[in-house]
Amino acid sequence: MPDFMARPLDSAKASAPPWMQDYLRAGRGRWQTSSMPTRKTEQWKYTGLQALQSTYAPADDGVVQLAEAGVELPRFGGFRLVFVNGHFAAEHSDKDLPEGVRIVRFAEADNTQAERIRQYLGRAVGRDQVLFTALNDASLAEGVFLDIQAGAHIEQPLHVVWVSGNQGEAFSVNQRLLVLCGENSRASVIENFCGARGEQQSFTNGVTELLLEAGATLNHYRLHLEEGRALHIGRAHARLATQATLNSFHLALGSALKRVDLVVDHCGRGAHSEVNGVYLPRGKEHVDYHTCIEHRVPDCTSNEIFRGIIGDEATAVFNGRIHIHRDAQKTRAQLSNRNLLTSVNAEVNTKPELEIYADDVQCAHGATVAQLDEMSLHYLRSRGVSRADAQVMLSFGFINEVIDTVRCDALRDYLQAFLTRRFARDPALTGGVS
């Protein structure tokens, strides 16, 4: 076993509560018997794991001064929980729980809560052959359970922030989030991964599970704002029961390695999902989104839009799979992936993957790779807008169409302002000259 394979197990907390021990054991077993994917593994063809070949120590639970570390913790209203290097940061977290939801930290769960967590944990993600999920299980120590009660309408977002702060050596964090949306409940969950300014070296292995019971609606936002040497391999799995609706939005800035797998499993009739996302790697960064939309039963709809801007020598991967099972008649599924390359050295590998076994379905997909449209640039310039400004407007406009789908006003305003600033000063995103 290479060093990388052995080391993460050292990170596993011996102090994990007894109820987790069988997860740890099983995860450890699966992790040890798995082999690392290589470029010959189809799922990892365009994403190498060389960046992981260093030693990652368990994260300290020492206090990281977020303000000094240049970490911005935005507020979107609602309830906020903050974790720093995987450890709960009470001083940055809210105390007054909103009504209609129980928020339980794994490390603090009492027997009843632990039993409830055990009832649902792993239900969406499954346990088969998913390497980094095994690692996550094997290292389970902390996590969050958002237990949204049936019928609850929670107006304000539930915001979970995972900060990786600077630490002397390279460190790893295994993050876990479990969301259970009771029948006919409505809620919004924001997952926000961000890092400290400067050269930190971290590896986050994140697993999020979203369980939507009948008639539930969840707006799910997952922001990957870590950069530089902050590596992330993460997955979010959603399981939708009858008439459940998932509206999700994903954003990834680039880093040395970022791989996010999204799985939406339509398990009950009439379920509907929207999965939208934006990725913005530049420099030598890498972002890889693998999405898989499963349609198992009739009458479900799914709509997926991903857009990326790839600059400098960055690389991106988008693999969008739609799998329509034999019984999933009357499915309507759409997928669109568009990419803008702002440099001749930028690269994107995009692949829509349709597997359809039902015969009465409507399914559309498309993928494009392009540069900024010369005629649009000319039109803006013909009104006096400078070339550089026109490039900013067009490239931002390209992703702004997707940002506009964010339903949470406070979050949308934040993202638009944050990205406008970024586009204005970063020619790699706009094809401009620095």
Positions that interact with other proteins (CB under 8 A): 374-376, 378-387, 389-390, 393-394, 396-401
If the CB atoms of residues 40 and 383 are measured against other proteins, the closer one turns out to be 383
Least distance between other proteins and beta carbon 405 (Å):
12
Q: Which is nearer to other proteins, 99 or 374 (CB)?
A: 374
DSSP readout, 148-181?
EPTT-B--SPEEEEEEE---SS-EEEEEEEEEEE
Q: Round to whole Å and give the CA distance between 170 and 300.
A: 44
Q: Which residue is associated with the tokens 């603090």? A: 108
CA nearest to 238, candidates 203, 290, 204, 273: 273
SS3 label, residue 3: helix
Least spacing, CB of residue 397 vs other proteins, in Å: 3
Nearer to other proteins, 72 or 373 (CB): 373
Nearest to 208 by CA among 230, 232, 171, 176: 176
In the complex, minimum distance from the CB of residue 87 to other proteins, in angstroms, rounded to a whole number? 40
CB of 351 to other proteins, least distance (A): 24
- Would you say 357 or 379 has its CB closer to other proteins? 379
Which is it for the CA torsion 323, 325, 328, 330, positive or negative? positive
Positions of E strands within 296-374? 301-310, 315-324, 332-341, 347-356, 362-370
Amino acid, single-letter form, for residue 367: A
Specify the residue, 387 or 407, whose C-beta has the smaller distance to other proteins.
387
Instruction: Give the amino acid at 34.
Output: S
CB of 281 to other proteins, least distance (A): 20
Distance CA 334, CA 348 (A): 21
Q: Which is nearer to other proteins, 369 or 388 (CB)?
A: 388
Q: Which is nearer to other proteins, 2 or 384 (CB)?
A: 384
CB of 396 to other proteins, least distance (A): 7
Supply the minimum distance, in Å, between the C-beta of residue 379 and other proteins.
Answer: 4
- Write down the H helix ranges in 186-230: none
